[in-house]
Structure 1
């Protein structure tokens, strides 16, 4: 849930990931031979930046939002994209959760995608538009009027996925992610993911716990996306991203915080 700035203020101690880290690899970003001289991951932060700011990506994001059922926020974001492109053309360097997921899913074509914070399914649809056979796992509380926007539930999201031609399986896990994620992973000890988005609990400790829960299940070479890294009312989210991901040698990360509410994208190195 959204919180006030006071509730999401930075804290001195954040949680740490628990459990063993998967040794599974994302094939799209890893390289193997019979003798491996180097670590297998081919793509780091500079490559992620190229993906994130690739020509035509914002136009694709605008077209995607227009394909989905309209709501006030979606209409606003589409207008934001169009205005930025009209003013600055191809020189406009902008990123958000939609453009980040477009970039990541286009390159990875993930087999399995996990998302915390589904709401109307815009992010799920972004991934599905690039990887129509991907198995999708969505975790949400389905809070009514979440952040001032209608939150119609799983069946609505399924109809949105149909709009982008998704063919793979979809599993929704309903409830508090701090309870449902540990239970889900305990029931699926070998399940790993090419791509994961954390966009649920926006309190500092809540967001940190979600990241710590999913990090060990991200494949080596897989990508983690984290939303709202520069939200002015939620300063703790930047701390969470910086301390748990961007500053860690296990990850190679790019952070966009120049406009909008920002987004972080990182690939797991080992």
Structure 2
């Protein structure tokens, strides 16, 4: 896994003094890009390439109806639109995801950064959220069809055990992009964030889903306390429509 800064979002002054923190693009600017109608069109096109399920079919219909009612001024973001823009901008070499399910988030990254090394952690719970959860072989097939060329490792089991075990066994592993979308209890989400945040490269991004989910109102405070309020992070959050999503870029080490 790569070490050091994400060169696509940071400035290297060489032998000069670091007058500014190295991050060259902030979360607010990337958030503005994420809300553009062209990105919603990209998200819709990606959903239509994936094997459909009830949720992706619903989201695709939601996107079409939002555009029909409100046009180009409609503001909407979710984990797919966020990851499409972050992966395009950062061009991550290494991506870690907690909560893979059917591979929708990983697909967004693979589409924009096909050579990215991906590692994902999931319990593969049958019938998760009332939808079929086919398991790691299904995810491998989805990413292969999208043209993913990088390495793919999918780890089964509880993230509170498997993620720390992986990080201990890979002490030099660092990531340009991380998604935490697994355990939605306050303590579980907190632990996942604390486990992976030290491995985020300067200039890299961490994404946290469902910050406005009515069944999990505690997640908003978890995100703020663990990530968004840190002085070394540049954070952005979208809520009010859908279940909400947030991300933050590491400004300095």
Are residues 1:40 and 2:15 paired?
Answer: no
2:171 to 183, 189, 193: 189
The corresponding residue for 1:85 is: 67
The corresponding residue for 2:7 is: 27
Q: What's the offset of the Cα at 1:210? A: 0.2
Q: What's the offset of the Cα at 1:95? A: 0.4
Q: What's the offset of the Cα at 1:23? A: 7.3
Alpha-carbon separation, structure 1, partners of 2:208 and 2:51: 24
- Map 1:1-270 onto structure 2 (within 5 A): 24-33=4-13, 34-35=15-16, 36-270=18-252
Is the contact made by 1:134 and 1:169 (CA closer than 8 Å) also made in structure 2?
A: yes
> Secondary structure of the residue that 2:143 maps to in structure 1?
helix
Is the contact made by 2:3 and 2:174 (CA closer than 8 Å) also made in structure 1?
A: no
Alpha-carbon separation, structure 2, partners of 1:55 and 1:92: 8
Q: What's the offset of the Cα at 1:130? A: 0.4
Unpaired runs of at least 5, structure 2: none
Q: Which range moved further: 22-31 or 175-184? A: 22-31
Alpha-carbon separation, structure 2, partners of 1:139 and 1:241: 20
Question: Would you identify which runs of 4 or more consecutive aligned residues in structure 1 move more than 3 Å?
Answer: none
Alpha-carbon separation, structure 1, partners of 2:246 and 2:20: 26
Deviations 1:174-213 (A, max 9, x none): 1110011111001100110000000000000000100000
Is the contact made by 2:114 and 2:148 (CA closer than 8 Å) also made in structure 1?
A: yes
> Secondary structure of the residue that 2:119 maps to in structure 1?
strand
Normalising by the residue count of structure 2, what TM-score does the alignment of the two structures yield?
0.96
> Secondary structure of the residue that 1:222 maps to in structure 2?
strand
Aligned CA RMSD, in angstroms, stands at 1.2
Higher relative contact order, chain-length normalized (CA < 8 Å, sep 6+): 1
Unpaired runs of at least 5, structure 1: 1-21
Alpha-carbon separation, structure 1, partners of 2:163 and 2:169: 10
